[in-house]
Amino acid sequence: MYVTVCCLESKFQAGNWPQTKTKLKQKIKNILDKSKLHETKMAKKQHPSKEGMTAGWIIHNMMLSGLCVVEGKLLLWYHYKIQEFVGSLPKEIVKEATAAIAKLQPVVLSQQNEVFDSTKSGTSTPSLPKSGTSIPTPTTEQSSTWVIENTGMQIKYVQTKANLKKCLSSNEILNGTGEGLCAIDCEGVPDSLDLIQIATLPQQAGSLITIYVIDCTMIGIELVCNSILPLLQSNHIIKLIHDLHMDMVALSSAGLEGFNCILDTQLAAEDFTGNPFVGMNALLKMFGAPEHPLKNKMQQIMKSNTNVWSKRPLLKSYIEYAALDAGLLLDVMSKLHAHYGDEGISIIMTASMARAEFAIKYNGKRSICFDIENEYAIASSELIEVFHPESAMKNEPLKSKCEVKDLIDLLPADLTHELVQEGTDIPTYMAEYALIDINLDVGRRACCWMGDDRVFLSQDENRLVTMEEIDDIVSKLGGFGSDNRAGLEQKLHRISGMCNRNGEVIGLSMRVGRWFEGNAAMLVDFLLGSDKSILILGEPGSGKTTIVRDAVSVLASRHNVCVVDTSNEIAGDGNIPHPCIGDARRMMVPSLDAQSNVMVECVQNHTPHVMVIDEIGRPREVEAARTVKQRGVRIIASAHGDLRKLLKNKELRGLVGGVETVTLGDKAAKEEAERRSNGGANGQFSKTKAQRMGEPTFDIIVEVRRGEKHEWRITRDAKTAVDAILDGQKYKVESRTRDPQLSIIMFDFAEL
């Protein structure tokens, strides 16, 4: 197998590796037959008989070694692993490989024409390639220029300083001294800047669109960026870019600034469709332009190989894909101008420049708001701002409604110094915004938790909590319920007791209850723009309940909302609910055991449009939630953990459809193993498979984390996400982040 890999590397070092297992088998058979590899000493050690060494056996071991994988019907190669593999072989194998390669000389040379290689190979005997082989330097302009068939476009692949200088001197758009239009795209972004593609219109009637594919890896990023800076800064040349976010991050990271006259065609597409995420092919189709013929295939390749653009040499098809990313955008401009006119184009460019500035400042994230006129759908802030700002619903700075002073007032006076401003009874900033719990235990020092930090309430190590102080606080509360919880009238704080074996309270956990007005603003598209049920997941202290409280207020402005309030967690203690729930109604639950019954009673007796439950944590509540949903009532609820942990929790995973194990036949099990391992199952498979049992009770999942209260991960389709997890895959989420002091919501896509 080792010698065969060396032969394949020599044969295909310039590119064009077989893309299916069938083609690879044929190539290996040719190598075995022509090089007589089965007769070598190494082969005889591994396989005494000729029949033992087969193409299938070699492919199997290549996959075991991680040199290639099967992705769908495609065979994908890890070229850097192949080079490392070849470079690490012992001399004995290298010697046999070199001899075998010499026998394959005609075959090797016949493969060179499929990769872009600006020089022609000679007829010398090929040798074992060295790791890190790079593309040869072009010697003539002709060797780096070719026409893309049936497009009316030509590529100039620029790989040297001299060639770059020549191109700049011959094109006034490229060097930034002219007036007109170009289209720009980058590859390798945002982590690197491997290629920059710049498409320019014909300089003479009847000539072709020219796309300059500038190889930053070969020439150097700094030199390339400095060379095109006049173009990027020009006020006389419009630069078309589609979805500029990551390109701007890469260009600015290279030291470029002062961009002008940028037009993001994705913003124009959003203005037409209301969809802020229109892809390039959808844009081209929308305007009747030819679609990108290589887009889908190349996206699959890039998904499985993140180093596509950093490796050299580049396949000719890769260069053409990159070139068309820029060249095809030029077809759109005439249609945009016909629709918008000069004034409209100027407005789109204003929005595009604002988008570019935001992307650079916030590392490629989007700035979003919610379009009231479009049922609170997500919209690009820059576009709404220039066309109809009155329709924008933005994130407002959060307003804290903590009332922490009421909790501090329960403490002995000498234990309040760390929580109030000196000489006053006014809570400190940290107490107002960071205080989570106050813990009092008989015979121990009183302390509180500020975030993840413990703070003792007295500097005197001998100041210990007494039984009398505990009794005094309990008397102010009026006692505890069966769940050992108590509260303050119309306040959100929760006080929980720890009892000894005689039932006497000997410790208190005083949890601060907060209400942040505007806290649910990042969910307004789901709350007001849909009727879907939402499950908020997170660890204790991650802020689930504060989100639920504000969500209740938002929903109650339009719907009949009823809160099933176990231990008065959402709407506070007392007969009159806290103002934080707005116009919603509240049903108090006497104990945790009664929560499921009250949920069903709420639907039967009070017919709400929306039911809100702070925490679902037991099987009976899971079943009650399913019953409520089946009766047409929307549910907003919270639970502990995250989506992956929820699926491992047998008692709660019914909230997202449940999990069942099915038995597969041998054939189906093998196919499933091959699919999951991208063809590398190696004959190993399991005859059981976990799959979703039914429809999820909750349609949308919001995941929050402790310490990251302003960054939420949202799954729009719980069903698809659960299926992906059970299939061993990552699932897609929307990452929404806000600045609590500003009207900014940042948006990005991610996989978990």
**What would the mean pLDDT of 372-388 be, rounded to a whole number?**
95
Model pLDDT for residues 197-221, shown as the tens digit of each residue: 999 998 777 789 999 999 999 999 9
Rounded to 10 degrees, what is the CA torsion of 706, 708, 714, 715? -50
Give residue 258's pLDDT band: very low, low, confident or very high (50, 70, 90). very high
For residue 317, what are its two tokens? 């098809």
Q: Report the b/e string of 457-480 with b at 16+ CB within 10 A.
A: bbeeeeeebeeebbeebbeebeeb
- Kindly state the DSSP code that residue 703 receives in the 8-state scheme: E
Assigned architecture for domain 519-658+693-751: 3-Layer(aba) Sandwich (3.40)
Q: Is residue 324 within a helix (H) or strand (E), and if so which, with residue range? A: helix 316-327
Is residue 606 over pLDDT 60?
Answer: yes
pLDDT in tens, 79-112: 656 767 777 778 777 777 777 776 665 433 333 3
Considering 46-50, 213-217, 688-692, 739-743, the range whose residues carry the highest mean pLDDT is: 213-217
Same fold? 142-344, 400-511: no
- Residue 14: its pLDDT value, please? 44
Read off the pLDDT of each residue in 581-609 and give the average, rounded to a whole number: 94
Q: Which residues, listed in sequence order, are joined to residue 640 by a DSSP beta bridge?
A: 538
Strand bridging mode 744-751 / 366-371: antiparallel
User: Residue 126's pLDDT is what?
Assistant: 32
Question: Would you place residue 616 in the very low, low, confident or very high pLDDT band (cuts 50, 70, 90)?
Answer: very high
Residues 324/327/329/330 CA torsion (nearest 10 deg):
-160
pLDDT score for 279: 95
pLDDT above 80 (res 19): no
pLDDT-derived band at 676 (thresholds 50, 70, 90) equals confident
Pairing mode of beta strands 453-456, 700-705:
unpaired
The answer on pLDDT for 28 being more than 90 is: no
What kind of fold does domain 400-511 have according to CATH? Answer: Beta-Lactamase (3.30.450)
Q: Where does 142-344 sit in CATH, by number?
A: 3.30.420.10
* pLDDT, mean of residues 667-692: 74
Of 320, 189, 194, the residue nearest 242 (C-alpha): 189
Q: Which residue has the higher pLDDT, 43 or 134?
A: 43
Q: Quote the Cα angle for 218-223-228, to 5°.
A: 110
Task: Report d(CA 502, CA 550) in Å as an integer.
Answer: 40
* Reduced 3-state DSSP string for 537-570: EECCCCCHHHHHHHHHHHHHCCCCEEEEEECCCC
Of 291-300, 350-359, 408-417, 459-468, the least confident: 291-300
Give CB contacts under 8 A, 24+ apart, made by 449-456. Answer: 451/707, 452/707, 455/418, 456/418
Q: What percent of the chain has pLDDT over 70?
A: 89
pLDDT beyond 50 at 190: yes
Q: Which amino acid is at 46?
A: Q
Write the burial class of residue 608 (CB in 10 Å: 0-12 exposed, 13-18 middle, 19+ buried): buried
- Give every CB contact of residue 706 below 8 A, 6+ residues apart in sequence: 538, 539, 540, 541, 542, 543
> Does the pLDDT value for residue 625 go beyond 70?
yes
Burial (CB count within 10 angstroms: exposed 0-12, middle 13-18, buried 19+), residue 571: buried
Give 505-545 pLDDT, tens digit per residue.
999 999 999 888 999 999 999 999 999 999 999 998 899 99
Residue 301 has pLDDT above 60, yes or no: yes
What totals of helices (H) and strands (E) does the chain contain, helices first?
27, 31
Mean pLDDT score of the chain, rounded to an integer?
87
Task: Give me the residue spans of the domains in the chain.
Answer: 2-114, 142-344, 400-511, 519-658+693-751
Per the document, the length of the chain is: 752
Report pLDDT for 80.
Answer: 59
> Closest by alpha carbon to 623, among 649, 588, 647, 658?
658
Checking if the pLDDT of 50 tops 50, the result is: no
Q: Rounded distance, CA 90 to CA 128, Å?
A: 13
695, with CB counted inside 10 A (0-12, 13-18, 19+), is: middle
Contact 160, 167 (CB under 8 A): no
3-state secondary structure of 141: coil
pLDDT of residue 121: 32
What is the pLDDT at residue 143? 46
Q: What is the mean pLDDT of residues 273-292?
A: 94
pLDDT bin (cut points 50, 70, 90) of residue 42 is low
Mean pLDDT value across residues 54-76: 76
Tokens read off for 535: 């499950």
Residue 336 contacts by C-beta under 8 Å, 6 or more apart in sequence? 263, 265, 268, 287, 345, 348
Do residues 695 and 620 touch, judged by C-beta distance below 8 A?
no
**Tokens at residue 203, please?**
């300089």
Asked if residues 625 and 599 have their Cβ atoms less than 8 Å apart, the reply is yes
pLDDT at res. 404: 92
- DSSP classification of residue 176: T
User: Distance between CA atoms of 558 and 575, rounded to whole angstroms?
Assistant: 24
| Percent with pLDDT over 90 in the chain | 64
Query: According to the model, what pLDDT value does residue 680 have?
Result: 54
Helix (H, G, I), strand (E, B) or coil at 405: helix
* Rounded-to-integer distance, Cα 415 and Cα 741, Å: 31
Beta strands in 352-452 (DSSP E): 366-371, 377-380, 392-393, 399-400, 435-441, 447-450
What is the rounded CA–CA span in Å between residue 488 and residue 476? 9
Burial of 663 (0-12, 13-18, 19+ CB in 10 A): exposed
- Asked whether 119 and 313 are in contact (CB, 8 A), the reply is no
Cα gap 521→517, rounded to integer Å: 9
Residue 505, helix vs strand vs coil: strand
Report pLDDT for 669.
Answer: 79
List the one residue out of 476, 505, 510, 480 whose CA is nearest residue 492. 510
pLDDT of 130 higher than 70: no
Q: Quote the CA–CA distance of 571 and 491 in Å, as a whole number.
A: 8
**Residue 46 neighbours by CB under 8 Å, 6+ apart:** 1, 52, 53
Residues 246, 364 contacting (CB under 8 angstroms): yes
**Separation between Cα atoms, residue 447 and residue 424, nearest integer Å:** 20
Separation CA 223–CA 168 (nearest Å): 13
